Chains A and B, each alone.
Chain A
């Protein structure tokens, strides 16, 4: 085995600006498409086993030192479609990282293991008998150790978290500190703009440099256009390397007997659809779920400064099980731009009064266990995220908003802003049913955001009903694997990064 060369900082990445030829031909044992949670972990696990690994990332390489801690700028430089990726009707913002490290660079660091009842659903409904709690536990243990996952300490719970915790205690609801993958949190509150001083244990400072230390090569600015296969076996990929001004720098072909697809739950199915592969079941792109979330803001009598301290501190799991509601509430910080988009206190003076009192606001993030009703499509020119909150899930969303309102009021809030397109303000318990019950499940009525797209290449034992096996290999194409949140057969209610890390580790170990 060759010498391991670990870098103390930075990452060796081939960028479009490095390219001097119009076409590149490369060979590898494994080509990994995407450098986020699934791709980075797979690349490291395979490289450390001596495989020649090439990672292709469509987004740019942005070193941590270049992060600006300005949210609008970060949306433009680090996120898919410059932060403008939405569903077809435009009422659901689907935020995904689009840079080396993927969404792990811009997430809120929250870590949950896959809930046991979700694994039981997968075993019962999808024949995934081997994905038991005991089977996955060692993988969870390992990735949590590698990524410094720990319960938030008291200093990592910001003012808004303490308020919410007190309110939950008053209501008798179960409330716990969140676990996060972070070292010596700087308490800047800028997680969604990337962690400038490299405390968040994203792939940018963990698995990617570890993979490179074992010889993996990373190509940024490189969008895979087609997966290649012959005789039912993967043979490589074709890609285009694009400069930051949008011009084409080169084409690229990687010949490899194994392809790991880890471009995320929107891009991975599009690539399979473009390639015409692994879709005997007609399930590629279907079953999209995304934990549509709302940020329910409320005004408090004392200053909260919701942008100060760790972004996410505590969560309420009282209603996590589907039998109890199927949602969780996480206390969430935010900055001014996010704040301006989440409430509708009325146009003009009411809005500016709301913003002038920004330091008195605190937020609660709602996450629901949505059904897999959406679909990712490719029309030959553009992708389409066809997803509307289903009538099955709308009552869960209403329950989550009601619970958030009750929790805010119990925590001392004087006004709770329902994140709808029309003005809905709750000032006491008596207002809750009217303001939330009056919501309609129509496009553009709620201001939803998804940070967790999933389900579009789902795992399952039945090749007629699923795209990949439990070991991540597609049913139809030998050597073609999927290792991102596309795998998840159902939404998992909680933040999925740890689930993806664990599954990618398991898949890569099976491959090696």
Chain B
């Protein structure tokens, strides 16, 4: 299915259930219903070999399907072959994604989880398998198509990519190959200037004195 047709189909399915701007504002049930409809033409929640794979013990804030989705996204979105960049399996990308998601309020977190499920399952339309089972090239193409698609497609593609990107580049280990300096004040020995002096005031009928630090 070409990207335009895919986009129209997903948009149409989506709009059966909700107005576009209400995405991430609806309850789990509504979004789950649309996800089910979106996947329904091909068998609901097509199985993946990864479904039987264990997840690491630290991944308590992600469902197994979410863990595998972000692992697949990490591998596809952060290739380093032929560069001096640090391989993404050397930094805690998915752990950092989990940390970021922990700041979401429970309602939004649930809705996002359902959106991630839609992203994973919607690959069945174009590739006959879930996103987690695409190879790297197919996964990148899938992201690019969704970046050009409907509102919901752009939203999910952007959210997943930005979660993965920031999770990788926030790690100090990734900085040296691109000459990013990171924190510098302590390294440079910059002195602390403290509080600014009190403003001069013609009405101030009192003396200034230096008190104890807080």
Most buried by B among A2, A72, A352, A422: A352
| Contact of A6 with B180 at beta-carbon distance under 8 Å, contacts A347-B140, A348-B76, A351-B77 already known | no
A199 at the interface (CB under 8 A from B): yes
Q: How far is the CB of B80 from chain A (nearest CB, A)?
A: 6
A84 near B104 (CB under 8 angstroms)? yes
Please indicate the chain A residues that have their CB under 8 angstroms from the CB of B208 in the complex. 4, 6, 213
**Which residues between 9 and 39 of chain A lie within 8 Å of chain B, taking CB atoms?**
9-13
The residue in chain B whose Cβ has the minimal distance to the Cβ of A82 is B103
Proximity string of chain B (200-213) to chain A, C-beta cutoff 8 Å, 1 when within and 0 when not: 01011111111111
The residue in chain A whose Cβ has the minimal distance to the Cβ of B142 is A347
| Contact of A69 with B107 at beta-carbon distance under 8 Å, contacts A4-B207, A188-B190 already known | no
Main secondary structure of the interface of A (DSSP, over half): loop
B20 near A443 (CB under 8 angstroms)? yes
Interface segment, one of A236-244, A313-321, A353-361: A353-361
B214 near A444 (CB under 8 angstroms)? no
Inter-chain CA distance A2–B207, complex, in Å, is: 10
The residue in chain B whose Cβ has the minimal distance to the Cβ of A386 is B21
Q: How far is the CB of A384 from chain B (nearest CB, A)?
A: 8
Please indicate the chain B residues that have their CB under 8 angstroms from the CB of A88 in the complex. 21, 24-25
B185 at the interface (CB under 8 A from A): yes
The residue in chain A whose Cβ has the minimal distance to the Cβ of B136 is A348
Inter-chain CA distance A4–B209, complex, in Å, is: 7
A382 at the interface (CB under 8 A from B): yes
Interface segment, one of A157-165, A203-211, A394-402: A203-211
Inter-chain CA distance A399–B204, complex, in Å, is: 50
A89 near B144 (CB under 8 angstroms)? no
A196 at the interface (CB under 8 A from B): yes
The residue in chain B whose Cβ has the minimal distance to the Cβ of A351 is B77
A356 near B177 (CB under 8 angstroms)? yes
A414 at the interface (CB under 8 A from B): no
Please indicate the chain A residues that have their CB under 8 angstroms from the CB of B21 in the complex. 88-89, 388, 443
Q: How far is the CB of A506 from chain B (nearest CB, A)?
A: 16
Inter-chain CA distance A7–B195, complex, in Å, is: 7
| Contact of A352 with B183 at beta-carbon distance under 8 Å, contacts A206-B196, A337-B170, A422-B148 already known | no
Please indicate the chain A residues that have their CB under 8 angstroms from the CB of B25 in the complex. 88, 384
B57 at the interface (CB under 8 A from A): no
Chain A contact patch, size range: 35 or more
A1 near B206 (CB under 8 angstroms)? yes
Most buried by A among B137, B157, B194, B212: B194
B204 near A148 (CB under 8 angstroms)? no
A355 near B182 (CB under 8 angstroms)? no
A347 near B211 (CB under 8 angstroms)? no
B154 at the interface (CB under 8 A from A): yes
Q: How far is the CB of A351 from chain B (nearest CB, A)?
A: 7
Please indicate the chain A residues that have their CB under 8 angstroms from the CB of B1 in the complex. none
**Which residues between 88 and 111 of chain B lie within 8 Å of chain A, taking CB atoms?**
100, 103-105, 107
Q: A348-B136, A352-B79, A355-B169 are in contact. List 11 more A-B contacts (CB 8 A).
A: A3-B207, A4-B207, A82-B103, A88-B21, A89-B23, A188-B184, A196-B183, A341-B166, A358-B180, A384-B25, A388-B21
Chain B: residues with CB nearer than 8 A to chain A?
20-21, 23-25, 76-80, 83-85, 100, 103-105, 107, 136-137, 139-141, 143-144, 147-148, 151, 154-155, 157-159, 161-162, 165-166, 168-170, 174-175, 177-186, 188, 190-199, 201, 203-214
Chain A: residues with CB nearer than 8 A to chain B?
1-13, 48, 63-65, 68-73, 76, 81-82, 84, 88-91, 142, 145-148, 183-184, 186, 188, 190, 196-199, 201, 205-206, 209-210, 213, 303, 305, 307-308, 335-337, 339-341, 344, 346-349, 351-353, 355-359, 382, 384, 388, 421-423, 442-445, 447
9 A-B pairs closest in CB distance:
A69-B183, A9-B194, A348-B140, A340-B165, A10-B214, A72-B170, A444-B154, A347-B143, A82-B103
